[in-house]
Amino acid sequence: MTKLLSMNRRKFLQASAAGALAGAMPGLIASSAAAQTALTVGFIYVGPKDDYGYNQAHAEGAAVIKAMPGVTLVEEENVPETVDVQKTMESMINLDGATLLFPTSFGYFDPHMLAVAAKHPDIQFRHCGGLWQEGKNPANTGSYFGYIFQGQYLNGIAAGHATKSKKIGFVAAKPIPQVLQNINAFLLGARTVDPGITCQVIFTGEWSLAVKEAEATNALVDQGADVITCHVDSPKVVVETAAGRGAFVCGYHANQSPLAPEKYLTGAEWAWGNVYSDFVKKAQAGEKLGNFVRGGLKDGFVKMSALGPGVSAEGRKAFEATQADMMKGGFSVFKGPLKDNKGDTVVAADKSYAEDAIELESMNYLVEGVVGSTA
């Protein structure tokens, strides 16, 4: 059924005449009174909704708004980062009457979401992670993201207390700023436990490549890493492979503890239900939606998996104390003096970045102690 729906959506514009589309538009414009209670919201996922990862986290958030009064939810999964997503957005607008769209995958933003948004100025589009710029991007678009590197920092604290080899590992998709933030934060958290800990990172080159993710995980364990985390769309392969090799794991995106109950230390999870419900409430009330929305643990954008049985009493104490500090706001994961893994100073001794520092949005380095390259 999902494949059939996907095929119908993507072929709709090719099979329909332009006049038919134009004729359908007037009926999709709701009165201001109706907009207070009735809202059709579209979600688009690059992978399956039950991937134990990125897409599942967004789908769990979508499920929260589905239960809200007056909301009709339209979803489509397994949509590639190609012109296909433009066709999906167009059909959600023209067939389903969606007036608020969440194309969730990184590659949907430019050019796809921006192109469709320019043609539909009365429709609101919000993208996960895109760097929306005022004056450059359409006013009916925007981006939202969370400071999940805070969660990876906490992962690092748990990893630092669990590692025996002083080597931890990270399986990453692409060296974009958000991924680099997570790698760096993971090691910096671990180094609060022991400054001698190092982190080996392997980039797979894509968000979802199960074979390469398994190979990378095995390679990290072979090189001595005894705690593994990741930033790929679905951590399932990494978690199961690492646990199968006897390594501890820290999760990402969603809760993977059922996959490795004895080896799962904790995990950095998204709390998208809070973010999406806020967008929907504003849209239903006719209020302006934020164009550049960010938040961390204290804002309810991010949460942590429950600590697993592999976390020691000392590790639990350090984890909970740091988490409490983060919940107060203004916590600095990245503070000087800090060098990159090439020996250059990237954060001066008198400088620190709180979670909302704009500099973090363009991070392009790996910190000292990370073995790997951004190339």
- CA-to-CA distance for 132 and 137, rounded, in angstroms? 6
Residue 26 has pLDDT above 60, yes or no: no
Average pLDDT for residues 169-187, to the nearest whole number? 96
Q: Give residue 304's pLDDT.
A: 98
Neighbours of 307 (CB within 10 A): 19
| 136 vs 131, residue with greater confidence | 136
**H/E stretch holding 198:** strand 198-203
Can you list the alpha helix ranges (DSSP code H) found in 192-267?
210-222, 236-244
ω before 258 within 30° of 0 (cis)?
A: no
Asked if 96 and 88 touch (Cβ cutoff 8 Å), the reply is no
Q: Return the pLDDT at 30.
A: 40
Categorize the per-residue pLDDT at 3 as very low, low, confident or very high, splitting at 50, 70 and 90: very low
pLDDT category at 130 given cuts 50, 70, 90 is confident
pTM: 0.88
**pLDDT higher than threshold 80 for residue 255:** yes
**pLDDT tens readout for residues 274-332:** 999 999 999 999 999 999 999 999 999 999 999 999 999 999 999 999 999 999 988 99
Per-residue pLDDT at 330: 87
CB-based contact 156:220 (threshold 8 Å): no
Taken as a whole, the chain contains a residue count of 375
**118 C-beta neighbours (distance < 10 Å), count:** 13
Helices 313-328 and 149-162 sit at what angle, rounded to 10 degrees? 160
Strand partners, 302: 270
% of the chain exceeding 70 in pLDDT: 90
* pLDDT tens sequence across 320-373: 999 999 999 889 999 999 999 999 999 999 999 887 787 888 899 999 999 987
Mean per-residue pLDDT for 34-47? 84
Quick: pLDDT tens for 192-247: 999 999 999 999 999 999 999 999 999 999 999 999 999 999 999 999 999 999 99
| 137 closest CA partner among 266, 282, 292 | 292
β-strands 302-304, 264-270 pairing: antiparallel
3-class SS at 31? Answer: coil
Q: What is the dihedral of CA 217, 304, 148, 269, to 10 degrees?
A: 70
What is the C-alpha separation between 190 and 169, in angstroms, rounded?
11
Residue 374, pLDDT score: 67
Beta-carbon neighbour count of residue 113 at 10 Å?
Answer: 27
* Residue 261 per-residue DSSP state: T
Residue 359, pLDDT score: 80
Q: Indicate if the pLDDT at residue 262 is higher than 90.
A: yes
